[in-house]
A and B are shown apart, each in its own frame.
Chain A
Amino acid sequence: MKIRGIFYSSLLTLLLPLAVWAQEPADCLSCHGDKELKKDLADGKTQTLFVEQKDYLQSVHGNLSCTSCHTGITASHPQDQPGKVDCGICHAQETEAYKKSIHAQAFEADPSASPDCLRCHGTHQVQKSGSEKYKKTAVDQCGECHADYRRTYFDTYHGKVVSLGETKDMPLCWDCHSAHEILPMADPQSNISKERVLATCLYCHPDANTKFAQYNVHSDKYSYKNDPISFWTYFVMVLIVFFAFGLWVPHTILWFIRDWLENRKKKKNPETKPPAESGGGA
């Protein structure tokens, strides 16, 4: 009996940290589940410290503990200074790629002007990048800063199909621009540089050629400066529309009114010859 008692108590002791680990999000949420929880920042602004439990549990990180990302939290929390979240702990490859990107360079210069990991992936609600849920929000995500590129993307076949809800075979922003190592067009290493853009197209279009790859996918038909060819094409097509309807809408309206007037006249003078309208052979 004594041996068994020792066994159970030691097992319990061994399992105790596990129990604490499992309870941990609930522990943190006992304070961070409060919508009013705020922190005063150095520049006078306040930052909310509230965490929506549902977002976190439904995220791809829903099975991780809080401290897997929020390292450096000690027994003296909240008086301690927790370290900045480092995604590189698990996602080393992506973080290294990001550090080479134009986003990282711009972020270093001005954190408000360029995204870090969190800006694109979100914080507690982070979704698996291949998931439909993430794909559906992806273009809007990039469009928050690149509004014109978002708009012109939806002018292309790729964008229109995505907008109709079909993301299966259709490229999203990162399929052409890459996700983490985004480089400007002028950089030869960029996916969309003159040197490499054909290779990017070839990924989905195995029969693509140099001229195919010269197609300006983000051409803006409303802007003469951006793409004069698209602008004039659009302009001429709109003129054709105005020409066709300018001629025929008045024609139709006048014909309708005249028919109505003639019919009223016939009703007033029924002695004139009966209308020939038989309504066809039916």
Chain B
Amino acid sequence: MSETAQIQTPAHSGQGEEREILRLSGYQRFIHLLVVIAFFILTFTGIPLKFHDWAWAKLIIQALGGYEVARYLHRAGAILTFLYIFLYFAEVAYRFIIKREKGLFWGPDSIIPRVEDITHVVQMVIWFLIGGKRPKIDRWAYWEKFDFFAEAWGNFLLGLTGLILWFPAFFTRLLPGFAIGMSTIIHGIEASLAVCFIFFIHFFNAHLRRAKFPMDMVIVTGRMSMQEFEEDRPAELERVKKDNALFWHQVPPASPALAKVGKTVGLILLALGLGISVCITYSVFFDWISRLIRFIS
């Protein structure tokens, strides 16, 4: 919120008029950075275990410096995940209890799905099929809400089953023995799903579609150009203008150095993520087809 309060003209942009919309706070971007780091650690140390009989999996483990390294990195990634979950809920609690922010759990600024989202899905599908007008999307698009809850669901499931697999002897004091076998199955499939979902669907929705290609810098800088804001979030812009609050959402552009570093790192991770997702998809399809052939013959 401190960034919205900066009223002085941007020092480095050279264009006094150029103001951008602050879409993501520094804290939100920091949390997302932790998510990215944890997600990549967990993906590259965990996925090879699920696809152990494939050469690419063995190659990744070798590149990481052996199985022992992967094992400890995976647990470090897990701890980081629990940390960002805690930090996320800490901020939600702060904003709800101390700042008494309205509309955190309801209304157009909330991530919680609304009736409008269903309308947007329908309008979007109509736009896909016959063109015309796109739905007037507010602060959070339905695909972002789905991403959020998919991530939350994945974190819950992977966190729980991961803990069971990490401390099987402790958890079987509470749970029956088959919890270990169930956890193995759930953890592996949910992880593959999460990885492919993030790297195919989330990457396309957020970065790879034509309007954002190859990367939406909003996740690094937190800022969106006015033009893009108008195009992407027309309902939010209308709402903000009606409240005469546009000024409070506008900030000077981010430093070019931050954008440059963010873009370089982002594009490398984008390529790595897509790479491992292609490997997973290929392996899964190959397995299923060979099982199908065996089943028929």
Contact = CB atoms under 8 A, between A and B. Distances in A.
B200 to A, nearest CB: 7
Given A209-B173, A215-B172, A230 B178 contact: yes
A176 B61 CA distance: 27
B22 to A, nearest CB: 11
Given A211-B177, A216-B178, A227-B181, A281 B217 contact: yes
Contacts of A229: 178, 181-182
B240 interface: no
A143 to B, nearest CB: 13
A160 B188 CA distance: 12
Interface stretch (A13-21, A106-114, A124-132, A150-158): A150-158
**Residue from A229, A237, A241, A257 having most chain B Cβ neighbours under 10 A:** A237
A154 B52 contact: yes
A251 B128 CA distance: 9
Contacts of B146: 248
A230 B182 contact: yes
B181 A277 contact: no
Interface string B212-245: 1101111001011101101100000000000000
Given A160-B52, A215-B178, A255 B67 contact: no
Contact of A238 (B176, B180, B189): B189
B190 A157 contact: no
Interface stretch (B86-94, B98-106, B163-171): B163-171
A203 interface: no
Contacts of A280: 212, 215-218, 221, 224-225, 228
Nearest to B130: A258
B181 A281 contact: no
Contacts of A262: 131, 210
A237 B182 CA distance: 10
B12 interface: no
Contacts of A255: 128, 204-205, 209
A237 B190 contact: yes
A232 to B, nearest CB: 9
Contact-residue bracket for chain B: 35 or more
Given A212-B172, A252-B201, A154 B53 contact: yes
B272 interface: no
Interface in B89-120: none
Given A216-B177, A281-B225, A240 B193 contact: yes
Contacts of A157: 49, 165, 184
Given A157-B184, A277-B211, A215 B128 contact: no
A259 interface: yes
B253 interface: yes
Interface in B112-154: 125, 127-129, 131, 143, 146, 150
A168 B281 CA distance: 31
Contacts of B67: 161, 164-166
B181 A215 contact: yes
Nearest to A260: B210
A217 B175 CA distance: 16
A212 B259 contact: no
A60 to B, nearest CB: 27
B217 A259 contact: no
Majority secondary structure of chain A interface residues (helix, strand, loop or mixed) = helix
Given A216-B181, A237-B186, A258 B49 contact: no
A164 B193 contact: no
Given A161-B49, A237-B185, A237-B190, A248 B201 contact: yes
A163 B253 contact: no
A209 to B, nearest CB: 6
Interface of A: 154-157, 159-161, 163-166, 205, 207-209, 211-217, 219, 221, 227, 229-230, 233-234, 237-238, 240-241, 244-245, 248-249, 251-252, 254-263, 276-282
Q: Which 3 A-B pairs have the closest CB atoms?
A: A280-B217, A214-B177, A215-B177
Interface of B: 20, 48-50, 52-53, 57-58, 61, 66-68, 125, 127-129, 131, 143, 146, 150, 165, 168-170, 172-173, 175-182, 184-186, 189-190, 192-193, 196-197, 200-201, 204-205, 209-213, 215-218, 221, 223-225, 227-228, 230-231, 253-254, 259-260, 263
28 contacts: A155-B184, A160-B52, A161-B52, A163-B52, A163-B53, A164-B58, A165-B58, A208-B172, A214-B176, A215-B172, A215-B177, A217-B181, A219-B181, A229-B178, A229-B181, A233-B182, A237-B190, A240-B193, A245-B196, A245-B201, A252-B200, A252-B204, A252-B205, A255-B205, A259-B211, A279-B212, A279-B217, A281-B225
